[in-house]
Chains A and B, each alone.
Chain A
Amino acid sequence: MFAPVSFILQPGQLAVIAGANGSGKTTLLEALAGLSLLRRGEARFAQSAEQHVWLQNSHYLGHKLGNKANLTCLENLQFVASINATSVTQHQLELLLEEAGLAGYEYQFANDLSAGQKKRLALSRLLMLNKTFWLLDEPFVNLDHGGCDWLYAMIERHLKQGGAVLLTAHDQKKIHALADHHITLQPSAAEVSS
């Protein structure tokens, strides 16, 4: 789909993937997340060649948010916590939702939230799970100004704590300015010639 790319993300670094529509940004992120097979290539965490070590340390959030429509916000987070073998208290989850701007929505079904609130709910999983690598596909889409600022601050804090973030974003000058790497996906040679 796209020409070969290769990059190293050091702790505290942010990479932004750019490319035209259909250039394969989502495909690359999904492949890195382990949701689709890399035809050639690999992702490694630190010195470990084992792919599962990479997967254990990364968290992917794509266009499909993964909220269950007829579970409440709290139930959604509780499920993600227990499926990831993370133990959290009800109080911690309430604080998390408050931080995500979802205070008062704890017992609302995810279905009844607005598009932006659904995104906030999904993004709050990042804070709960504490993974080193964040793979985010268009995380700013649907968020209002406050939400964008919240996410920006969240990414900045994560980088300061030694995490690394790989994301795609359109029209986000602030996040582009923060980026250490700009990865541009070019059509592969085979496709150009055809």
Chain B
Amino acid sequence: MRFQALVKRDVLVSWRKKSNIYQPLVFQLLIVTMFPLGLGAGAQTLAKIAPAVVWILALLSTLITLENIFKDDFEDGSLGVYVLSGMNLPLAVLSKALAHWLTTGIPVILFAPVTGMLLHLPEQANGILMLSLLIATPIFSLLGTIGSALIMNIKNGGMLLSVLVMPLLAPVLIFGAGAVLETTLGNSAYGHLMLLSGCAVLCLTLAPLAAAAAIKINLE
């Protein structure tokens, strides 16, 4: 009940503040159009770097949205409303992560084939690209809750959040972009996807606890 209420509220707030949803996609589109201009190269060179670029763009565009997971609630006081409601705090974190994934992760997954197309990513890699992002975007949201909970009372803490979260995201990028690259080379992406799923399970179990602890530290 409480879990749904928090998810519903967050999705509604994001939906009304459309920039939350558009921002990552516009960011991706702007940068992806720069690549052909900067490289001045043909389709073949672009296709070679496409798996890495598409993945890095998905990751960076999500990264810029992570700060607000808890910051907005901290600033308007509504964090206190659900922390003091007696709701289980890791569960509250989980619902925040789910709401963030629904409003940021899903658009990023659906948009990935578009950035892929602009970089001449072979079409047969689209399936694995979206599958790898389907596994990885929840990791972004979950790790984001830890980062956001740590920096929520710091002004302009976005940079600090990136520094905190980026190292944790490095393995996710390696396995995710690796899976797409293997597919373009005609190999199986199975191993990469399995490792990626392992990361997802680890984050799902540990991130809510870590973020809840971070919230408590910041409230003290």
Which residues of A line the B interface, CB within 8 A? Answer: 33-37, 52, 55-56, 59-60, 62-71, 75, 79-80, 82-85
Flag if B81 contacts A56 (CB, 8 Å). Answer: no
User: Given A71-B13, A82-B5, are A52 and B86 neighbors across the interface (CB < 8 Å)?
Assistant: yes
Flag if A79 contacts B84 (CB, 8 Å). Answer: no
Question: 9 shortest A-B CB distances, which residue pairs?
Answer: A64-B77, A82-B5, A66-B77, A37-B220, A70-B16, A66-B81, A66-B78, A83-B85, A84-B85
Flag if A82 contacts B2 (CB, 8 Å). Answer: yes
- Tell me how far the C-beta of A121 lies from the nearest C-beta in chain B, rounded to whole angstroms: 12
Flag if B80 contacts A35 (CB, 8 Å). Answer: yes
Q: Which of A37, A68, A69 has the most CB of B within 10 A?
A: A68
Closest residue of chain A to B217, judged by CB? Answer: A37
Closest residue of chain B to A125, judged by CB? Answer: B81
User: Given A36-B219, A55-B84, A83-B82, are A68 and B5 neighbors across the interface (CB < 8 Å)?
Assistant: no
Closest residue of chain A to B79, judged by CB? Answer: A66
Which residues of B line the A interface, CB within 8 A? Answer: 1-2, 4-6, 9, 12-13, 16-17, 75-78, 80-87, 219-220
User: Given A36-B220, A66-B76, are A79 and B1 neighbors across the interface (CB < 8 Å)?
Assistant: no
Closest residue of chain A to B16, judged by CB? Answer: A70
Q: B77 to chain A: which residues have CB within 8 Å?
A: 62-67
Number of A-B contacts (CB under 8 A): 71
Flag if B86 contacts A70 (CB, 8 Å). Answer: no
Flag if A60 contacts B80 (CB, 8 Å). Answer: yes
6 contacts between A and B (CB under 8 A): A35-B84, A64-B76, A66-B78, A68-B78, A70-B17, A71-B13
C-alpha spacing A37/B83, complex, angstroms: 14
- Tell me how far the C-beta of B215 lies from the nearest C-beta in chain A, rounded to whole angstroms: 11
| Besides the known contacts A37-B220, A55-B86, 8 further A-B residue pairs in the complex with CB atoms under 8 A apart | A62-B80, A65-B76, A71-B16, A80-B85, A82-B2, A82-B4, A83-B6, A85-B1
Flag if A75 contacts B12 (CB, 8 Å). Answer: yes
User: Given A36-B220, A64-B75, are A83 and B12 neighbors across the interface (CB < 8 Å)?
Assistant: no
Q: A75 to chain B: which residues have CB within 8 Å?
A: 9, 12
Q: B9 to chain A: which residues have CB within 8 Å?
A: 68, 71, 75, 79
Flag if A80 contacts B81 (CB, 8 Å). Answer: yes
- Tell me how far the C-beta of B158 lies from the nearest C-beta in chain A, rounded to whole angstroms: 20
Q: A85 to chain B: which residues have CB within 8 Å?
A: 1-2, 85
C-alpha spacing A32/B77, complex, angstroms: 16
- Tell me how far the C-beta of A25 lies from the nearest C-beta in chain B, rounded to whole angstroms: 17
- Tell me how far the C-beta of A98 lies from the nearest C-beta in chain B, rounded to whole angstroms: 22
Closest residue of chain B to A81, judged by CB? Answer: B5
- Tell me how far the C-beta of B3 lies from the nearest C-beta in chain A, rounded to whole angstroms: 10
Flag if B219 contacts A84 (CB, 8 Å). Answer: no
C-alpha spacing A66/B6, complex, angstroms: 14
User: Given A83-B2, A85-B2, are A71 and B12 neighbors across the interface (CB < 8 Å)?
Assistant: yes
Q: B83 to chain A: which residues have CB within 8 Å?
A: 34-35
- Tell me how far the C-beta of A23 lies from the nearest C-beta in chain B, rounded to whole angstroms: 20
Flag if B219 contacts A83 (CB, 8 Å). Answer: no
Q: Which of A52, A55, A59, A64 has the most CB of B within 10 A?
A: A64
Closest residue of chain B to A37, judged by CB? Answer: B220
**Which of A35, A64, A66, A83 is close to B5, meaning CB atoms less than 8 Å apart?**
A83
User: Given A79-B9, A82-B1, are A34 and B84 neighbors across the interface (CB < 8 Å)?
Assistant: yes
